[in-house]
Amino acid sequence: MEEEFLECNILHEDIVKKVKQKMPEDAFIYDLAELFKVFADSTRMKIIYALLEEELCVCDLANIVGTTQSAISHQLRLLKQSKLVKFRREGKVIFYSLDDEHISQIVMKGSEHIEEL
Amino acid sequence: MEEEFLECNILHEDIVKKVKQKMPEDAFIYDLAELFKVFADSTRMKIIYALLEEELCVCDLANIVGTTQSAISHQLRLLKQSKLVKFRREGKVIFYSLDDEHISQIVMKGSEHIEEL
DNA sequence: ATTACATATGAATATATGTTCATATGTAAT
DNA sequence: ATTACATATGAACATATATTCATATGTAAT
């Protein structure tokens, strides 16, 4: 017959306090999640794997990944915004390549986890 | 006046062929993207950071993360499905903890990238 | 058995996100 | 200037996903 709305009491107050102190800032967590979002799509992951091998133009990427030029171009924009790829122009063709050594490390750690399942 | 719909010719055939051979299977890429999806949400990232410190129950997680018990519970289900957390029951309380050493490594690599921007 | 409470879960809603289509931009060649 | 083509981009659409709300389940205590 209780009329309370106790969503959730703290069960272990000291532990909660301790963990809260060690938590990173919200903005940091947000940025980190944003970074992992880039890896969280199979089209982008294919692009990344392709670029791990070779500097590639948009058109070749579309062929390798198996989708349209437009889709690749949209995804490259996200990768650019996250500073994961860089590019250079050569006439009409634009070549993309990976911009950061962490990328392969992140991908490798992820694939280790997958392979051990 | 051309009536062709050349979406995208292969520009560098030899390179495309070479990179294609080195590409992982689609299923692997898909699984990898699925894994990174788990890290690609700030609520789950907060849960992960909290669990890096300490084994925690759902209720305490809700307080630390700053959301409802239900939201935490839903997210823990995803983390369970990806084999990233394990749990043990102690009476009414269920304690969650990280299930894999790769998790901290993946998070650390990601945060290195963030911090260098 | 009934009450309390920690957790789980289904359905609904709102929002985010990827692809497609049409079109624009930029560069080179004629 | 005009044509060709590699790439970029805006809008529309479809799908995925996170949270909320209500409610169910499981455990312990009375």
Give residue-wise pLDDT tens across range B53-112. Answer: 999 999 999 999 999 999 999 999 999 999 999 999 999 999 999 998 889 999 999 999
Sheet holding A93-98, edge to edge: A56-57, A93-98, A85-90
Report the nucleotide nearest the CA of residue B73, measured to C1': C8
Nearest-CB residue to A16 (from B42, B60, B69): B60
How long is the CA A73 to C1' D9 vector, in angstroms? 9
Query: A34: which residues sit within 8 A by CB, 6+ positions away?
Result: A82, B40
Q: Which residue is listed with tokens 């030899």?
A: B14
Q: What was the pLDDT predicted at A54?
A: 95
The pLDDT of residue A12: 87
Q: Cβ contact (<8 Å) for A102 and B109?
A: yes
**Interatomic distance B1 CA / D1 C1' (Å):** 16
Q: Is the CB of A98 under 7 A from strand D?
A: no
Going by pLDDT thresholds of 50, 70 and 90, the confidence category of residue A82 is: very high
DSSP for chain B, written as a single string? ------S---S-HHHHHHHHHHSPPHHHHHHHHHHHHHHSSHHHHHHHHHHHH--EEHHHHHHHHTS-HHHHHHHHHHHHHTT-EEEEEETTEEEEEE--HHHHHHHHHHHHHHHT-
Tell me how far CA of residue B15 lies from CA of A104, B64, B71, in angstroms: 20, 50, 47
**For A34-57, what is each residue's pLDDT tens digit?**
999 999 999 999 999 999 999 999
CATH fold group of domain A23-116: Arc Repressor Mutant, subunit A (1.10.10)
If you average pLDDT over residues A10-30, what whole number do you get?
Answer: 93
End-to-end CA distance of chain A: 48
Closest CA to B108 of A117, A82, A112, A106: A106
Under 8 Å between Cβ of B26 and A75? no
pLDDT at B102: 86
Instruction: Please report, rounded to a whole number, the percentage of residues in chain A having pLDDT higher than 90.
Output: 83
User: Taking the domains of chain B in order of start, what are their residue ranges?
Assistant: 23-116
pLDDT for A83-102, tens place per residue? 999 999 999 999 999 998 88
Q: Which amino acid, residue A115?
A: E
What is chain B's alpha carbon radius of gyration, rounded to the nearest angstrom? Answer: 21
Q: What are the residue ranges of helices labelled H in A1-117?
A: 13-22, 26-39, 42-53, 58-65, 69-81, 101-115
Half-sphere exposure of B96 (CA within 13 A, CB side): 25
Given a cut of 50, is residue A22 above it in pLDDT? Answer: yes
